[in-house]
Amino acid sequence: MAHAAQVGLQDATSPIMEELITFHDHALMIIFLICFLVLYALFLTLTTKLTNTNTSDAQEMETVWTILPAIILVLIALPSLRILYMTDEVNDPSLTIKSIGHQWYWTYEYTDYGGLIFNSYMLPPLFLEPGDLRLLDVDNRVVLPIEAPIRMMITSQDVLHSWAVPTLGLKTDAIPGRLNQTTFTATRPGVYYGQCSEICGANHSFMPIVLELIPLKIFEMGPVFTL
């Protein structure tokens, strides 16, 4: 999860998030190079004495500053489109979880376990145990296995919500009357936090998401849901 004064992105827990961090660094380096080039050109313009005013015809320069931005856009667009298509792939998921947004809590349904359904509410401050995180911990966590493709089916019962877990690279809108899906494969165990990322009313800030990821062998031994 994020910590105080953090500047960069959270550590990746899925291959998609690793790709997103790589693309972020790639695009950031291109932005740095563009900024350096523009600042260098401005510096030369302000400090160099212009002794030749016959520079009205510079077709070579016009060709360069037309083609170069197009090449830069291609270098940004190709990896971006690659990741975009990767996030839409659904390859034979091992487990399907349905998440329903309400004002202001989440309902989860394990469709592969006989329709196991439970609600997940934020823990009030009076119920927090030592080590719990204020405004982030919930009474019922979502327990999922690692190293297994998981499909999330996301919808809403009332208004727009957004199911987001940054460390997994997930952010999917929950829309009333529409069922959206996303997939992920976690690579390491742990407890990971997210929140509703769509302004959904007065208690929008109090819709946390907590995923408890455990090894696949432990998950296969039986239901370990924290109900």
Q: For the chain, give every domain's residue range.
A: 15-49+56-88, 95-221
Residue-level pLDDT at 227: 45
Query: pLDDT for 178-217, tens place per residue?
Result: 999 999 999 999 999 999 998 988 888 899 999 999 998 8
Tell me what pLDDT residue 57 has.
66
For CA atoms 160, 172, 106, 154, the dihedral sign is positive
pTM of the model: 0.82
Q: Which CATH class is domain 95-221?
A: mainly beta
Residue 107 above 50 pLDDT? yes
The predicted-structure confidence for 127-140, as pLDDT tens digits, reads as follows 888 888 888 999 99
